Structure 1
């Protein structure tokens, strides 16, 4: 009798995934860069990098108050995606800028989800890890708040962190936010504001782009099935995601679509260098990367129900300064969705970068930095009189 999953059992392990050899995988720490740092949080070694401001003092009359900053990468990315803007941002905010790899991504340790009480692949872990780094950055100034800059799925973490501890967040910058904006509420958006006539149809068409959204579509379908079938489906899904066949499937998907997902995220893919490709694929050299990806997927799909309302209903509770940045040619998260999101957050600012895709902080560095600095100068400008970071400038 053939074994269960025989279509996979006959396959040999892949020697290469997205061009990365899989014969000798290494501990994440062995892949560290010269400026890599690691610290332990709840049993997980979190990889992070820090850029510090210049030592020389600048004219405070034309600057902004020092705001420590935490950067939150998107799905499938890592601290590497912030490499080009970290040092310039440190000069802008005149404080430390820190980017860290959330579990399952980058060079953060691949820890078993069952090894501790708090699942490292859960949203709450990412939120608490973000607060952990905020406290570290603000340790020299008791009560200081931090600026959170999130990209794509990292925006979800940024917003949830604010809602968890608003007293610790000075402002939010949401870049190409992968947060589905409410379809009702806020001001109406017409063609003049960049939204297509049939927004829902266009949006789901973008999600269905197999080059970039295959995994997301699988998540949505599986989650819908889970909701319909209840605990029985959840148990079956858990069993599959813990199987060898699932590991093989992950390798096949990443090998097939990983590089193309990077290319489609840029407005001009011809400008993507080998260095960028290597930066994104480097984590595929880490031991257990595919198991961590599955544990992350499992945490996403089997999250227990919460009594708090959906995020879309809590956006109106955000009262700190918010800036939303999007590329006009974003094929992953449409610009009109980012616009609608801005209308759902009271008082938020909205900026569009032209001839730009899903990665403004990588593809349009100068424009990105200019927009962020202008926003911070407007909200946190230093006047002749000393002011506390706890409140925006009038």
Structure 2
């Protein structure tokens, strides 16, 4: 009986330890990132080597302008979120909108080097290299939406000498940071790491629910808007990259540093934001030393998409001060 028990326990252990590796983890993507980018941007975008990987970006305006405007999208979005405001903003500066690691059409590294491109540290490095590449001798404006707003704020806190103006649209300041550090050991379990991409693949459907909650006027969620959010899911390996993003440390330590911000700041929010509560933007405006708040009425989490004219007007007015 003892031998039989040992055999049974051994089989159970084998199933638990080895079984997960027998589960196929495939990708639903069928295109390379460059093929997908060409379809969405009609070949008008480009790829630039930054922080050790190829970053997809689109530009508008003259590179000779004395102002650089860098656009950072939020969670689950891409540079496509800025399509309606790129040209209007290019009238006041050289605009660079790029895809953050794990999103859009930026390269999705599968081998993590010294700096994890999916971590906040890696993403801040991309911003810094963008500013160095395009911002020499220019007024630098960093504009970030939602989780991109948190990164923009983090960069301005780290490099106040490099940023002249900061614009935060529905910034996710009070609830960002990724997985808590005490969970790191869980992500290191090989079996879980193997199955991780399957666990996060549900974003393909749940992401559309988030998009619906992001708009005040649901009639504005056209087939093209939906396509802008689903196109990156055609990229081979998007699930693995999204899993790596969820594993990566993203704490920026923003809240305890808010009173240290020395950059002139504009906060833009919709009056019915259900993703980052409008009240959070109001609170942030009260806690920053030098900020202005612009609330766009009849707008949710994405004023830049839902009310592009009002959004651009707010940005231009702020930068004209």
Do both proteins adopt the same fold according to a TM-score greater than 0.5, normalized to the shorter chain?
yes
Q: 2:114 aligns with which of 117, 140, 156?
A: 117
Q: How many Å apart are 1:255 and its aligned residue?
A: 3.4
Cα distance in 1 between the residues matched to 2:244 and 2:192: 8
How far off its partner does 1:137 sit?
Answer: 1.8
Tell me which residue corresponds to 1:87. Answer: 87
- Residue 4 of structure 1: which of 12, 16, 23 is its match? 16
Q: Identify which of 255, 267, 271 aligns with 2:216.
A: 267
Matches of residues 228-243 of structure 1 in structure 2 within 5 Å? 233-239=183-189, 243=193
**Using the alignment, how far apart are the partners of 2:17 and 2:203 within structure 1?**
20
Would the aligned equivalents of 2:187 and 2:193 in 1 still touch at CA under 8 Å?
no
1:250 equivalenced with 2:255 (yes/no)? no
CA RMSD of aligned residues (A): 2.7
Structure 1 residues 264 and 11, CA gap change in structure 2 (3 angstroms):
farther
Task: Please name the residue that 1:167 is paired with.
Answer: 161
**Aligned match of 1:290 in 206, 216, 239?**
239
Aligned to 2:125: 128
Query: Where do residues 32-51 of structure 1 align in structure 2 (5 Å cutoff)?
Result: 32=37, 33=41, 34-51=43-60
Any conservation in 2 of the 1:113–1:295 contact (CA below 8 Å)?
Answer: no
Tell me the equivalent position of 2:8: none
Q: Work out the CA distance in 1 between the residues paired with 2:148 and 2:191.
A: 24
Segments of 5+ residues of structure 2 without an aligned counterpart are: 1-10
Q: Which residues in structure 2 correspond to 1:176-191 (within 5 Å)?
A: 176-180=170-174
Structure 1 counterpart of 2:77 = 77
> 1:320 and 2:320 equivalent?
no
**1:184-241 superposed Cα distances (whole Å, 9 cap, x missing partner):** xxxxxxxxxxxxxxxxxxxxxxx8xxxxxxxx8xx87x52xx53xxxxx522332268
Other-structure match for 2:296: 353
Q: Distance in 1 between matches of 2:192 and 2:155?
A: 29
Separation in 1, partners of 2:256, 2:191: 31
How many residues end up aligned between the 2 structures?
Answer: 305
Which 4+ residue blocks in structure 1 deviate beyond 6 angstroms?
5-15
Q: Which runs of 5+ in 1 are unaligned?
A: 16-21, 56-64, 181-206, 208-215, 228-232, 304-308, 379-394
Structure 2: distance between partners of 1:346 and 1:131: 24
Going from structure 1 to structure 2, the CA distance change for 1:332 and 1:295 (only over 3 Å counts) comes to same
Show the counterpart of 2:36. Answer: 31
CA contact (8 A) 2:50 2:130 kept: no
Task: Report Cα offsets for 1:300-356 as digits up to 9, x if no partner.
Answer: 37x7xxxxx931121111112100011010000111110110111112000111110
TM-score of the two chains, using structure 1 as the length reference? 0.71
Scaled by the length of structure 2, the TM-score of the pair is 0.87
CA-CA distance at 1:13 after TM superposition: 6.6
Aligned partner of 1:195 in structure 2 is none
Comparing 27-36 with 330-339, greater Cα deviation is found at: 27-36
